[in-house]
Structure 1
């Protein structure tokens, strides 16, 4: 299939989670992603082999030791061929190695330079070490705990890492588009924490302007939440202000007297109404409720285990799980690129995970010139 980023080369030194996820998306869209790894050990995330594999399929690996003049020269030649250079080290690290934005721009003025850091290149926190949980805390995602003073289990999904990856993809594509007009690359400063603050817009904007928090109103609806069924399994109802979901839900649950209660009144009466909904759902198992809720057109979903997700017929029909060949000849399952283009096919995955330095010979010629894409 024709891929939108075919012919684009991305040279990346961004390790761990945000950079690898961003370049995973870009690789699936057709970019030639060349990972520059440390010769001994590679990306530190390789210590978590399955985690690393999920993020780095479909890429190529070159192992370079930047303490060596010859390897620094190889990286400069790679940068000459790059459309994008991505890194994820603390501010100033790449400049000390001789590959900061100004250095890379002198080597290749057309290269887009993307830096992913926890707090960005400026500000009083720029040098502070942290991981995803701390970024979420600072950005207000744990605001409920701030109000109650009661700690809860950390979120399982690294939202800061993933949101920054998607902002890196957005910034990268925007800068490449601008390059069509200007002929020059651009510097993209991606802060994990800034991205999370942006994602909190519907909380922070109303607060700063003296308005009402819309998401708080949604969470205060009696049929918005997780509920147990008779078989001990869980389902979600996601009925918010829409009366056209509420009325049929009441009919299905055997609560027709509640069907005419409007959205605002439901919020006020939430402490009274939620237990009635919960009690009704305890009368049947989840597999019994599913068809009834579907036929009524009610917004709902099962609370799936990870195993149930991998077996869900909808995701298989969508082609979300695919097998590809590894460098050792075996095959592995991967989650597919979620974007589907007009030919109805997912653009990735196309290949498995490269070994450390697997492509030194195929990318770096013996005469010192960098091979073209392919």
Structure 2
């Protein structure tokens, strides 16, 4: 399916300025840009966003945006930045708390210049609290949030997915959307505080709430139907029967284990080691593809554990157009939302450092000369 035209996208006409680097801020603006917003990434002179040192990382998070270079400590260029903010709908910043205030671009200063501005701050621990000024990246935050699995005395495994970055970016985009919706009634965009740590805790809503009450979450992994099993070809199957007896009954039918078919979830938990060993011994007799086909036919929630290159070749990924080519032939991951059957995706490639500086500065002057200092009302 073709992507919607720019003018038909939900955020068409919205301008977002970002001085958030690395991962969470760029991920937020990636989402918003695919929804139709114009995203202007303000980068440091000389080297820009530090993630440019990792070309593929930068490209994955920053396609579809315009890049300008400004030195926010230079008086003339800082005034240019202030003029840009006065003509924009939202600002996303990712500095440590207090930095934007010291530069003269704090939330109150920017609200005075543009009351309708949605001002979003993304930081490790938020704008207050005892950890406010502590530096932290994803791994530290996941550890503090209780999300790194522990297995006795073994060294904890570094998670493959940077959940703090992704969740904070997602909540950052949500903050912009909420601010835009709120200002339609109040006339004010507001100041939104997005903490990476808080975002992780939100992902752990259920176990954290239960833990606070002194209760055990009763991990899904304790059910023999929920876990990973090795097949005869040393491939793994990820099965996710979450206490559902009807799926369990179907599984026992495929595995030809009639004596276990009537065992309910409570008894499965009590006999989990014995039952898991039995299920594992049967699955180990045939290759993963054999079981995957039979489980799919029986409607059992299960799939082969894939590597990222295998995911890229997955026929369902192709059918959903998840990987979308840019004009230069490179592939990027498409926005997951589908609007009225149409896919949302990138409309331009990855910007070179400062590629659009002259273009954007000319637009600022033109709008000022025409009296359009404030962003148009969407």
TM-score, normalising length: structure 2:
0.93
- 1:211 matched to 2:215: yes
Give the counterpart of 1:194 among 177, 195, 198: 198
Give the counterpart of 2:86 among 74, 80, 83: 80
CA distance in 2, matches of 1:191, 1:207: 21
In structure 2, the residue corresponding to 1:76 is in which secondary structure?
A: helix
Give the counterpart of 2:257 among 255, 258, 263: 255
Structure 2, unmatched stretches of 5+, are none
- 1:65 matched to 2:62: no
In structure 2, the residue corresponding to 1:140 is in which secondary structure?
A: coil
CA distance in 2, matches of 1:19, 1:25: 10
Aligned residue for 2:334? 336
Q: How does 1:6-155 map to 2 (within 5 A)?
A: 6-142=12-148, 144-145=149-150, 148-155=152-159
TM-score, normalising length: structure 1:
0.94
CA distance in 1, matches of 2:293, 2:268: 25
- 1:346 matched to 2:343: yes
CA distance in 2, matches of 1:366, 1:85: 18
CA distance in 2, matches of 1:211, 1:113: 38
Quick check: 1:363–1:370 contact (8 Å CA) kept in 2?
A: no
In structure 1, the residue corresponding to 2:330 is in which secondary structure?
A: strand
Deviation of the 1:178 alpha carbon: 0.5
Q: How does 1:258-337 map to 2 (within 5 A)?
A: 258-325=260-327, 330-337=328-335
CA distance in 2, matches of 1:347, 1:303: 28
CA distance in 1, matches of 2:359, 2:135: 37
CA distance in 1, matches of 2:107, 2:277: 58
165 and 36 in structure 1: CA distance in 2 versus 1, 3 angstrom threshold? same
Aligned residue for 1:175? 179
Aligned residue for 1:364? 361
Structure 1, unmatched stretches of 5+, are none
Alpha-carbon displacement from aligned partner over 1:114-152 (angstroms, at most 9, x marks no partner): 00000000011111111111111111113x42x834322
Give the counterpart of 2:160 among 156, 164, 172: 156
In structure 1, the residue corresponding to 2:362 is in which secondary structure?
A: coil
Q: How does 1:227-238 map to 2 (within 5 A)?
A: 227-238=229-240
Quick check: 2:93–2:122 contact (8 Å CA) kept in 1?
A: yes
CA distance in 2, matches of 1:89, 1:334: 27
Quick check: 2:18–2:39 contact (8 Å CA) kept in 1?
A: yes
In structure 1, the residue corresponding to 2:158 is in which secondary structure?
A: coil
CA distance in 1, matches of 2:319, 2:180: 34
Aligned residue for 1:245? 247
Deviation of the 1:370 alpha carbon: 5.1
RMSD: 1.6
CA distance in 2, matches of 1:370, 1:38: 24
Alpha-carbon displacement from aligned partner over 1:306-330 (angstroms, at most 9, x marks no partner): 11100101011011011112xxxx3
Name the stretch that deviates more: 16-25 or 348-357: 348-357
In structure 1, the residue corresponding to 2:178 is in which secondary structure?
A: helix
